[in-house]
Amino acid sequence: MANKYIDLTGLTRFLTKVKSWVTDQGYQTSAQVEQAIASKGFETTTGAQAKADAAKTAAVAEVKELGYQSSAQVESAITAKGYATVSSVDSKVGAAKTELQEKIDAAVASAFTYKGVKATKAELPAEGNKTGDVWHVTADAGEYAWDGTKWEALGGNIDLSAYMLKTDMVAITTAEIDQLFA
């Protein structure tokens, strides 16, 4: 028996069926609920948001009228006196993080040096190697790294035969989805 998965067509069909089932149960969509609330004279979420935005604008204007400073004005005064602001400290920390990450990346990237391909492990050079030299060996499809005294296997073929193949998957049909709601 093939394994079933739901593709975009099936997902669309399933969503349509769920919406229909919810409506059949007497539940309403959010748009229907908003409309019902408005018809009773109550505030909808859209109306409440508009009022909240207007109140915020009025509060900011009142604070400015009373002579209080905005955060931008305070930050400007701080920097004029030569003090560090949160944003300037954050940018310095960010720059330090970037520099550290670049150094880490450079150190990790240089841990191994790819040298090429050999047909067998016996062909790997016994002399003139540096720690981190890596060769690919076609006989066993493995990579070997020089550890300073000998060649160490880094990996090899991975058996994926236990994994499911794409061809083992079959999309669930709309008829099978319809059966779920029958």
Q: What is the per-residue pLDDT across 97-125, written as a single tens digit (0 to 9) for each?
A: 999 999 888 777 768 899 999 999 999 99
Q: For 116-144, give one letter per residue: b (16+ CB within 10 A) or e.
A: eebeeeeebeeeebeeebbbebeeeeebb
- How does residue 28 score in pLDDT terms, banded at 50, 70 and 90? confident
Distance of CA 47 to the CA centre of its chain: 34
Average pLDDT, the chain: 89
On whether the CB atoms of residues 100 and 118 are closer than 8 A, the answer is: no
Supply the pTM of this predicted model: 0.36
In angstroms, the CA 74 to CA 86 distance is 12
Confidence check: pLDDT of 46 > 90: no
pLDDT at position 181: 86
- Taking phi over 0 as left and psi of -120 to 50 as alpha, with beta for the rest, 156 belongs to beta
In angstroms, the CA 118 to CA 123 distance is 6
Separation in Å, CA 18 to CA 24, 29, 31, 33, 182: 10, 12, 17, 18, 12
Could you report the per-residue pLDDT of 53-82, keeping only the tens digit for each?
999 999 988 888 888 887 888 888 888 888
pLDDT at position 16: 92
For range 146-172, the mean pLDDT: 89
pLDDT at position 1: 57
